[in-house]
Amino acid sequence: MLDENLPVSLVEFLRSTGFEAYRVSDIGLRGAKDEEIANFALREGYVLMTLDKDFGYIYHRLLRGRLTVVLLRPRVPIPQSIISLVGSMLKKINIADYMGRLIVVGERRIRIIWRPASHGIWWGRRDLNPGPTGLTAPERLHPRLKAGQADP
């Protein structure tokens, strides 16, 4: 499900690659409050894709671990760069592997934020792009972890 701030051409792109894609306005939620949109996506089992950072807040405060949010952060939010960003993301990750997580997609990296089921307070982060040391975020935080052992 795509938020109102995303172009119609992104819906067409996602459909052409085999995804079921709808804009918020297609399902009768044009002008709805963010919380209403998030709750609808949760109820219907949709992944919510947006440019709106408020959905990151809603994820963390209300729906962490239950709603899947893809927060797109292009440098220039024009249709071509948004489609390119989503296309690049889809080549790198399978969203189905990260259900219930906040996926922040920038032009240089993808961050996946989650709350492990066994912990009630803290949240984890997995940076899919290695830093200057060649290690991903969990490995930088926990040097004893070897590559490939970090929990996705």
- Domains of the chain, by residue range, sit at 8-141
Q: Are 7 and 49 in contact (CB under 8 A)?
A: no
Q: Which pair of tokens denotes residue 116?
A: 């492990």
Query: Residues 38-74: pLDDT tens digits?
Result: 999 999 999 999 999 999 999 988 888 889 999 999 9
pLDDT-wise least confident of 7-16, 85-94, 103-112, 141-150: 141-150
Query: Residues 109-134: pLDDT tens digits?
Result: 999 987 654 444 444 455 555 444 44
Query: Residues 70-97: pLDDT tens digits?
Result: 999 999 999 999 999 999 999 999 999 9
Q: Per-residue confidence at 4, pLDDT binned at 50, 70, 90?
A: very high
Dihedral angle at the C-alpha atoms of 7, 8, 10, 11, nearest 10 degrees?
Answer: 140
Residue 134 CA to residue 101 CA, distance in Å, equals 24
* Owner of token pair 């172009």: 7
Q: Which pair of tokens denotes residue 76?
A: 């220039």
Please return the burial class of 6, using the count of CB atoms within 10 Å of its CB with bins 0-12, 13-18 and 19+: buried
- What's the confidence (pLDDT) of residue 109? 93
Residue 112 CA to residue 124 CA, distance in Å, equals 8
The residues pairing with 105 across neighbouring beta strands, listed in sequence order, are 72, 110
Residue 33 CA to residue 13 CA, distance in Å, equals 26
Q: Is the pLDDT of residue 102 over 80?
A: yes
* Owner of token pair 């803290």: 122
